[in-house]
Structure 1
Amino acid sequence: MPRLTITRGIEAPIGAVFAAVADVRNFAEIQPQIVDITFLSEQRTGVGTRFRETRQMGKRRASVELEVTEHVENDRVRLVSDAHGTVWDTVFTVRKAGEGRTELTMVMDANGKSLLAWMMNPLVMGMVKGAVAADIDRVKAHCEAAASGAAA
């Protein structure tokens, strides 16, 4: 099962960083390629929240349904998606790394449910790595701009 891990130190309080990744509405505002969020559940945050995220990917759009399966305030949030024969399991973890500084770690696992998906996932994960790193870098820039008092 391929795994992708990305960690960034962020000059912002833990609560702000957690809110940026744990609330899909905040995350979507930070990511310009997310063009639509449609909630599929009554709740908007926390365990059980289900939504469809649509991203602009070059000239086409791609949608994926996600569910929040774990949510521990100012600690971690887990999002799970079952798409194209693969269960994508992503955990964002935050930890205080000094006064006003937070370490954000994202771990993404891709568990193929078929032989083809299992064989393709390492290749797909390689393509996904740059896009996901850019997502995390935008979270970092947003949180640091907000913490410094600048407009994000």
Structure 2
Amino acid sequence: MSTITVTKQIEAPKELVFKTISDIRNFSQAVPDIKNVEFLTEQEYGVGTKFKETRDMNGREASTILEVTELVENAHIRIVSDTMGTVWDSVFTVERREGGTELTLIMDAKAYKFLPKIFNPLMKGFMKKALEKDMIAVKKYCESKN
């Protein structure tokens, strides 16, 4: 599948946007498809935080274990998941722009098993739409809080 990039302009302060994407408790409030979050570590924020996210994927529930591997406050957060033969590496960055904040998500998918190497490229369009939907939800959430 390689790399997917989604960018949204958000009319809200950079700090609010970052707080929304970097704290899964806030992110799960912003994204309606996320149905449940279960922390797998004592810490609930920052590098080393692991959690299981359950979300609605076209009428079916799907759970994924994710880990925060990088976090620079009010700049970027990297979240990684190793699921079904693919490492999903997502980096959210925030930059102050005139009128608000530019939020960018770059997701890199590296398949290491045979079937995902075949099917992941076929899913790229679906994944981009799902990521766009999440980013639109974050935009609406942040702008409603501003």
Q: TM-score, normalised by structure 1?
A: 0.92
Alignment correspondent of 2:120: 121
- Displacement of 1:57: 2.2
CA displacement, residues 112-145 of structure 1 (integer Å, 9 cap, x when unaligned)? 0123212221112221111110100010111111
Number of residue pairs aligned between Structure 1 and Structure 2: 146
- Displacement of 1:2: 1.2
Supply the distance in 1 between the matched residues of 2:24 and 2:67 (Cα, whole angstroms). 10
Supply the distance in 2 between the matched residues of 1:134 and 1:79 (Cα, whole angstroms). 18
Alignment correspondent of 2:87: 87
Alignment correspondent of 2:107: 108
SS of the counterpart of 2:77?
strand
Larger CA deviation: 30-39 vs 64-73: 30-39
Supply the distance in 1 between the matched residues of 2:124 and 2:26 (Cα, whole angstroms). 25
CA displacement, residues 67-109 of structure 1 (integer Å, 9 cap, x when unaligned)? 00000000000000000100000000001112x5110000001
Alignment correspondent of 1:150: none
Supply the distance in 2 between the matched residues of 1:14 and 1:59 (Cα, whole angstroms). 33
Supply the distance in 2 between the matched residues of 1:42 and 1:78 (Cα, whole angstroms). 19
Supply the distance in 1 between the matched residues of 2:89 and 2:57 (Cα, whole angstroms). 21
SS of the counterpart of 1:12?
coil
Supply the distance in 1 between the matched residues of 2:142 and 2:20 (Cα, whole angstroms). 8
Alignment correspondent of 1:66: 66
Identity of aligned pairs, percent?
49
- Displacement of 1:56: 1.6
Alignment correspondent of 2:42: 42
SS of the counterpart of 1:52?
strand
Task: Indicate conservation of the 8 Å contact 2:32/2:137, yes or no.
Answer: no
SS of the counterpart of 1:102?
strand
Q: How well do the aligned residues superpose, as a CA RMSD in angstroms?
A: 1.1
Q: Which stretches of structure 1, 4 residues or more, deviate above 4 A after TM superposition? A: none
Larger CA deviation: 63-72 vs 52-61: 52-61
SS of the counterpart of 1:70?
strand
Supply the distance in 2 between the matched residues of 1:73 and 1:44 (Cα, whole angstroms). 15
